[in-house]
Chain A
Amino acid sequence: MNITLKSYKKNAVQLTIIVGCGKLGAAIANQISETGGEVLILDKDKQSFRRLSPFFGGLSVIGDALDLDKLKEIQIQKATTLLIVTNDDNVNYMVAQLARNMFSIRHVIARVLDKDKESIFTSEGILTFCPVSLSQERIQQLLVMKVPASSEAGDVEYDGE
């Protein structure tokens, strides 16, 4: 008797869904597409998709991320990662919570512009990044960076353009 054992490997296709096709959303979408990843980007404004690369191989969908019907339409539950980068913290928070609560998405990243709101996100397991904090850290590095000495004091050399 020949018994064939089949192993059912979970078909985990990595799909990143990005909410918000601003400068950052578009940049990440382009990056993921370029490296061969599956990506879907959602934005209310059709014009925002002009920021996408001409070689963008993902899906772009016009819609409101707060509209539950639209989220069901794009099958948001299939996302392995959700990146939320609209310009409104409150929208980002609501979409993040809808994703976790109603669609069981675990890997949720949201931009938080107001640092004072960050704890509301993180206390619920939403991963966050705060542009002002990140810029602050970078500026700190730049502030203590040693500038290469020029031949004479006051003589500054400019590179190219």
Chain B
Amino acid sequence: MKKSIVIIGGHTKAMILAKSILKKGYNVIVINESYEDCISISEIPGISVVQGDGARPYVLADANIWDADMAIALTPNDEDNLMICQLCKHKFSISKTVAIVSDPKKVEFFYALGVDRAVCTISTVASIIEQQAFVTDITNIIPIGGGNIQILELRIDGYSPVIDKQLWEIELPTEAIVGCILRGDTALVPRGNSRITMGDTLVLIVGQQQEASAIKTLTGR
């Protein structure tokens, strides 16, 4: 049976997310308070749209979200997202809840209350600015574990000091590992003797403290 994902709130984010989830083959239910947003989203074939406040149980019931596989709360208010996740989990038996959180100080709190995944957009942007990602080719910074561990994609360009080196030769900090090497269309599982070539994208898993040092070792910046 097809898995169902419910998206609550979020304007443009909801539409983009809905389209991408639909492409992956899931059933998508969108709940949104704005009539205009609902009209735009309903133009995408295959998505059920319900207009209303997703933090009200009767609206969730109208949308028939029982036993959906995942609920994603995208409203701009942390308190609304929290209530939405709690309702979905405890009243509608949805096993996985995801919320965006604006206040980075509340991320751990969300996890403590049972929200499965709390994504703090501000933290991510702050990290990017800190790492000056617009100067180096760092894309897709994904914080996990409350931001203590990061997964980054690092592009190895002509200036990198590690080109043609084998992994075992590179002195990476203890808390950093190269999880994967993306070369062209292939994803390679790195071994000690894997040689880095120009144009590779390295998927780096690194602790927060060691990030800057690992990036410098691999890219020279």
Contact = CB atoms under 8 A, between A and B. Distances in A.
B109 A90 contact: no
A101 B113 contact: yes
Interface residues of A, number: 18
| Interface SS of B by simple majority | helix
A110 B57 CA distance: 18
A49 interface: no
Most buried by B among A66, A89, A90, A119: A90
Interface stretch (B14-22, B75-83, B153-161, B187-195): B75-83
Interface string A43-55: 0000000000000
A89 B112 CA distance: 20
Interface string B70-91: 0000000111101100110011
Nearest to A95: B79
Contacts, number: 49
20 contacts: A66-B78, A66-B79, A66-B103, A68-B106, A89-B55, A89-B83, A90-B80, A91-B79, A93-B82, A93-B86, A94-B78, A94-B82, A97-B82, A101-B109, A101-B112, A114-B56, A116-B56, A119-B91, A120-B87, A123-B90
Interface of B: 55-58, 77-80, 82-83, 86-87, 90-91, 103, 105-106, 109, 112-113
